[in-house]
Amino acid sequence: MVRFWHPVADMHAVSATGELVLDRAEGVHVWDESGKRYLDATAALWYCNVGYGRPEIADAAAAQLRRLPAYSHYGDLSSRPTTDLAERIAQIAPMDDAVVFFTSGGGEAVETAVKLVRRYWSLRGEPRRTIVVSRERAYHGLAGYGTSIVGTDTFTVGLGPLAGDTLRVPWDDADALAAAIDEAGPERVAAFFCEPIVGAGGVLLPPPGYLEAARRVCRERGVLFVADEVICGFGRVGDWFASTRFGLDPDLVTFAKGVTSGYLPLGGVIAGARVREPFWAEGAGIWAHGYTYSGHATATAAAHANLDILERESLPARAAALEAELAKALEPLASHPLVSEVRAGLGVVAAVQILPEALADDPSVTGRVVLAARERGILTRGLGGGGLQVSPALVIDEAALGELVEGLRGALDDVA
Ligand code: PLP
C-alpha cells in the first residue's frame, strides 16, 4: 500500500506499479534504492542548476540550522541570511532599485504576485484594475491564483469556480495581447503574467521579438508586466534572468527553483520601484500577506551558498555557451520517426516533441517513452503537449550530454 499521496500523479497507477524511490545523487546523476543510476535529464523539476552533491550548500544549511533554523519574519523581524539575500538578489535583479518578498516556492510567489498587482492598483486609486491576463499553455503553479490563470484545462477540471477577472491570450502573439487588453479596457487590466519560456506547457520558446513587443504593449497601456521566471531565473537561460537577457525591465519577477537549486524550498517576488512605492509609502499601513516561512533562514543560507557557486563557476555564462551545444546534440532526434521537432536554442531548456499523429492515436505514447528512457537510465518526463523535457543541470558535460541523447534515442526506438 502506497501511503504517500504523490503530487501530480495518477495514484491508481502509482499503487499498481509502485514508487521509484530515489536514494542519492551526485553531479547530473541520481541513484535509486536498488543502486541503479540515472542521468537526470530535467534537473528534477527544472531546479538543480548547480548539480547534486554540493557540500558547501549542505554545510551552509547545517550551520544555519545550528545557529538559528528559522524565525518569524513578520513585522520588523529578520535574520541575517534573509536580509542579505534580499540585498544580493536586488543587485542582480533585472530592474533598478528592487526589493524582494520571499515565499516557500513558485506557487506562493505567483499567489503573492497576483495579490500584489491587484492591491497595487487599489492603493493607486484604480481599484477596477483587477483583470489578470496570462497566456494559453502557461503554467504558473497550482496555488489558487496560479490555478486560476493557468493556460491548460488539465489543471482546472472539476474545481468549480476559480478566481474571477482572468483572461487568456494566445501564447505567441503580442498583437492579440494588445487587442485583448483594449477590448477588456486597459483601465480594468492589472497585469500580464508571462513565462519568458513557456515551460511545463511544452518548452515553447518566445518567437523573435515577442517578449519585447509584449512588454511594449503593457507599458503603453499602463498594465504591469510580471515575468514568471520560476524556471528561467538564476542562470538557466544564459543570464541571471531571461528579463535581463531580453532587456524586459519587468515590474515584478517571480522566482523559485534555481535560487537554491532546490537544496531547500525557497521562492519569491522581486518588485521594482514603481510597484514598491505605494506599499512602502507613509500611511500605506500593513499589507496583510505573508507566510510562516517567508524568508526561512536556513533556506536563504542555502541560497547564498548556491549563488556563490553560480557566480564562482560562471554558470549563467556556461548556460549561454551550452545552449548551442544542447541544440546541436538534440538536433538529430528531430528526424526520428516518432518525433515532430526539437525545440532548443535558448539556455539549457529544450523539448523533444512526440509526433502529434502518434499522440492522437495513443495519448500514452509520451509516458511510454518516459518509461523506456527510465529503463535505459535516463530520467525525463512528459510536458504539456506531449513533449519530453530536457533541462539538465548547468554543469552537464559533453559525455553526459551524449549519454542523455543516446538514452532518449534508444527509448524512442523502443516505443516506435
Ligand atoms: N511558475 C512557473 C513558471 C513554474 O514552472 C512553476 C513550477 O514549475 C511554478 C510557477 C510553481 O512553482 P512551485 O511548483 O514551486 O509551486
pLDDT digits (tens, 9 = 90+) for 135-149: 999 999 999 999 999
pLDDT at residue number 397: 97
Q: Is the CB of 140 under 6 A from ligand 1?
A: yes
Nearest residue to 133 via CA among 151, 119, 115: 151
For 122-178, how does the pLDDT look when each residue is reduced to its tens digit (9 = 90+)? 999 999 999 999 999 999 999 999 999 999 999 999 999 999 999 999 999 999 999
- Spatial neighbors of 380 by CB under 8 A, at least 6 apart, are 41, 42, 370, 373, 388, 389, 390, 408
89 lines ligand 1 (CB under 6 A): no
- Which residue minimizes the CA distance to atom 1 of ligand 1? 140
Pocket perturbation via mutation, ligand 1, pick of 140, 226, 254, 255 by most ligand atoms within 8 A of CB: 140
Whether 196 lines ligand 1, by a CB cut-off of 6 Å, is no
- How many angstroms separate the Cα of 330 from the Cα of each of 42, 46, 201, 363, 372? 14, 18, 20, 23, 18
pLDDT band, very low/low/confident/very high, at 93 (cuts 50, 70, 90): very high
Distance, in Å, from the CA atom of 174 to the CA atom of 317, rounded to the nearest integer, reads: 29
Calpha distance 341→356 (Å, rounded): 10
Query: Cα angle at 145 between 76 and 290, to 5 degrees?
Result: 10
What is the average pLDDT across 316-325? 98
* Cβ partners under 8 Å of residue 72, min gap 6: 292
Ligand 1: nearest atom to the Cα of 108: 16
The helix/strand/coil state of 152 is coil
Pocket test for ligand 1, best of 8, 47, 110 (most atoms within 8 A of CB): 110
Say whether 387 sits in a helix, a strand or coil: strand
Is any ligand 1 atom within 6 A of the Cβ of residue 259?
Answer: no
Closest by alpha carbon to 79, among 262, 298, 291, 276? Answer: 298
Bridge partners of 339? 354
Residues 60, 50 contacting (CB under 8 angstroms): no
Using 50, 70 and 90 to split pLDDT, how confident is the model at 327? very high
pLDDT at position 410, please?
Answer: 98
How many residues in total does the chain contain? 416
Pocket test for ligand 1, best of 171, 231, 259 (most atoms within 8 A of CB): 231
What's the 359 CA to ligand 1 centre distance in angstroms?
A: 25
AA letter at 88: R
196 neighbors 214 (Cβ within 8 angstroms): no
CB 250 within 8 A of CB 219: no
Q: What does the DSSP 8-state code read for residue 204? A: B
Q: How far apart are CA 98 and CA 118, in angstroms?
A: 19
Reported as a single tens digit per residue, the pLDDT across 187-232 is 999 999 999 999 999 999 999 999 999 999 999 999 999 999 999 9
Domains and their CATH numbers in the chain: 11-54+314-415 (3.90.1150.10), 55-312 (3.40.640.10)
Confidence of residue 325 (pLDDT cuts 50, 70, 90): very high
What is the 260 CA–ligand 1 centroid distance (Å)?
14
CB hemisphere CA count around 77 (13 angstroms): 13
What pLDDT score does 373 carry? 98
Q: Whose CA is nearest to atom 13 of ligand 1?
A: 106
Whole-number pLDDT of residue 8: 97
Ligand 1 contact via 339 beta carbon (within 6 Å)? no
> Grid coordinates 519577477 are at which residue?
253
Mutating to test ligand 1, I would choose from 145, 203, 228, 230 the residue with most ligand atoms within 8 A of its C-beta, which is 230
Atom in ligand 1 nearest the alpha carbon of residue 232 = 3
User: Across residues 321-339, what is the average pLDDT?
Assistant: 98
Residue type, 391: S
Q: Which residue's CA is the closest to the ligand 1 atom numbered 6? A: 141
- Output the residue whose Cα is nearest ligand 1's atom 2: 140
- The minimum-distance atom of ligand 1 relative to the CA of 265 is 15
Q: Which ligand 1 atom is the nearest neighbour of the CA of 106? A: 12
User: Residue 311 is inside which H or E element, if any?
Assistant: helix 297-312
Edge-to-edge strand list for the sheet holding 252-255: 99-103, 267-271, 252-255, 224-228, 189-194, 131-135, 166-169
Q: How far is residue 259's CA from residue 75's CA, in Å, rounded to a whole number?
A: 24
- What is the secondary structure of 68-115 as a DSSP string? ------STT---HHHHHHHHHHHHHSSSTT-EEEEESSHHHHHHHHHH
Is the beta carbon of 256 within 6 A of some atom in ligand 1? yes
What number of other Cβ atoms are within 10 A of residue 179's Cβ? 13
- pLDDT (0 to 100) of residue 401: 98
Output the nine-digit C-alpha cell for 4.
504517500
**What pLDDT is attached to residue 167?**
98
Q: How much is the pLDDT for 313? A: 98
Residue 199 Cβ < 6 Å to ligand 1: yes
CA-closest residue to ligand 1 atom 12: 106
- Mapping DSSP to helix (H, G, I), strand (E, B) and coil, where does residue 151 land? coil
User: pTM of this prediction?
Assistant: 0.98
pLDDT at 37: 98
Ligand 1 atom having least distance to the Cα of 195:
3
28 ligand 1 Cβ < 6 A: no
The verdict on the CB of residue 141 being under 6 Å from ligand 1 is yes
Pocket test for ligand 1, best of 139, 226, 266, 383 (most atoms within 8 A of CB): 139
Indicate if ligand 1 lies below 6 Å from the C-beta of 106.
Answer: yes
Q: Give the mean model confidence (pLDDT) for residues 249-272.
A: 98
Q: How far is the CA of 140 from the centre of ligand 1 (A)?
A: 5
Average of per-residue pLDDT values in the chain: 98
